[in-house]
Structure 1
């Protein structure tokens, strides 16, 4: 089925991707697929799982076999996010560096709105430890389920069901609003910014890292935390492709200027 076969609302749901990082239990893969299908979601991706979906996954899917059959397996998180214009990470862990935080309901609205214009992703981490800081650095926002502070860790599939439900509620609310205002333009028509994809941003961040080291602003062994903060800054800004091209042009100019200064200094 292609986007052309779907209504705008269903197209948005079809573009929302649940990404599971390094799952240990195949049963959780199937349970997440079931949670998604009950709410009209269909894109599931696995990043470096311990095992690919098996008979246990199919049993736990309980009829969502089609989602498991379409599931894509990736070696890395950037590979699973390459075409996504918005990425939200779900994790209960506190972070030393504060991250833009959304409630599950707000995260659902953001995902649905952006999915009207292209692929988006919700990233869920390992059963035992959630997402690492490096993995969260690939996300524009962090979302957390407001659970009991004394016992806040949810089963992976239970967390996925909460987020899938919130997405469904946001979708129903949006469709109800359109029914009461039939002349209102669709979300996709209100904003046509060509937001840079995760793959575009990954290329920019690598270019930024190389340039900062090249001009002497950062040292290779000390740049990790600096780059994490800069990722957060630019992810929050969400540049479009034209703006990203301008930034990369600036980095190229800075790199050439640094090379020229180094050549002049060596000649002297």
Structure 2
């Protein structure tokens, strides 16, 4: 998928009543790489208030189109997706957001694709849903099924963005990201851990050394350690041993009390 296909996604708000929700949708559009917004007879459209809520939204505000009917807003689109909080009694092509996002981008290669949201207090009308090829339902907890307009839009916009950049946008790495640890480095790490744990008598009773180390191998192998991480864990094992050595030296240097509370050098304890 290509992020450029997001340019062909047309966001349509049908009769939105609250300018705050329009601003929230614009903010989410900018977050998720969407750039085309059409409003069907909004109750209020105040660019000053919108830009105060959705900072740096000036270009999107200027490009927003206001039309009189939903049919007019989607007439140039090759694929129209509506949204609803729950299935209606009429038969519709209901779908979940994740598979829908991939289908929308595939259809966007052919022409504009509309993503339509109804009025905040009542959603899309049945006549509005009649214009839609698919109807998205976002799964929510049964007792709290209703999402507000901005929440619902962000879920669908996120799925679109995710599908558009799949495989093309790497996750950020840590500042000191390193190559994967080699088998030799991992074996050195396990050996240091085993020796260190042995020095503090960790292996006693039912804690057999081979069983404990095998469990550590299982846990740490799931982490896919890099070289730096394996060296850090190896150093923990070494430091346990070093600490025990220092402790033993200090213990050897302490005077040993002699008979009647006197040290071996004859002084009082």
Instruction: Assess if the C-alpha contact under 8 Å between 1:87 and 1:139 holds in 2.
Output: yes
Residues 147-166 of structure 1, C-alpha deviations (whole Å, 9 max, x = no match): 11212111111111111100
CA RMSD across the alignment: 1.5
TM-score by length of 1: 0.60
Shift in Å, 1:55 = 2.3
Match of 1:24 in 2: 17
TM-score (structure 2 length as normaliser): 0.60
**2:108 equivalent in structure 1:** 115
Residue 110 of structure 1: CA displacement? 1.3
> Do the aligned residues in 1 keep the contact of 2:15 with 2:39 (CA within 8 Å)?
yes
Larger Rg: 2
Counterpart for residue 35 of structure 2: 42
CA deviation vs aligned residue, 1:52-110 (integer Å, no higher than 9, x gap): 23322222212222212211001000100011000000111331112111111112111
Q: State which of 47, 63, 73 in structure 2 corresponds to 1:70.
A: 63
Q: Distance in 2 between matches of 1:17 and 1:126?
A: 17
Tell me how far apart the structure 1 counterparts of residues 10 and 27 of structure 2 sit (CA, whole Å): 14
Native 8 Å contact 2:47 2:61 kept in 1: no
The offset of 1:174, in angstroms, is: 6.1
Task: Flag structure 1 segments of 5+ consecutive residues without an equivalent.
Answer: 1-7, 177-268
Partner of 1:100: 93
1:134 aligns with 2:127: yes
The question of whether the paired residues in 1 share the 8 Å contact of 2:40 and 2:68 is answered with: yes
**In 1, distance between residues paired with 2:57 and 2:89?**
38
User: Deviation per CA, 1:99-137, whole angstroms, max 9, x where unpaired?
Assistant: 111111112111111111210000011111111111000
User: Runs of 4 or more off by more than 3 Å in structure 1?
Assistant: none
| Unaligned ranges ≥5, structure 2 | 170-269
Of 129, 142, 145, which residue of structure 2 is paired with 1:149? 142
